[in-house]
Amino acid sequence: MGIPVGAFLALVVGAVGVYGTQTVLHATSTDAFCMTCHSNHSLKDEVMASSHGNNSVGITVTCAQCHLPPGGFEYLVKKIIVSKDIIGYMTIDGFNTQEWLEANRKEQAELARDYLRSIDSRTCTSCHSNIYENQPESMKKVAKKMHAMNFKKAEDKRKTCIDCHKGVAHPYPKG
Query: Can you say which residues are annotated as belonging to the binding site?
Result: 34, 37, 63, 66-67, 78, 85, 124, 127-128, 161, 164-165, 170
CA-CA distance, 173 to 106, in Å (whole number)? 6
What phi and psi values does residue 11 have, to the nearest 5 degrees? -65, -45
Query: Among candidates 100, 95, 91, 106, which has minimal Cα distance to 37?
Result: 95
DSSP labels for 20-51?
A: HHHHHHHHTTSHHHHHHHHTTSSHHHHHHHST
On whether the CB atoms of residues 132 and 148 are closer than 8 A, the answer is yes
CA-CA distance, 116 to 123, in Å (whole number)? 8
Q: How far is CA 98 from CA 1, 52, 90, in A?
A: 65, 21, 16
Q: List the binding residues for a menaquinol.
A: 78, 85
Q: List the binding residues for heme.
A: 34, 37, 63, 66-67, 85, 124, 127-128, 161, 164-165, 170
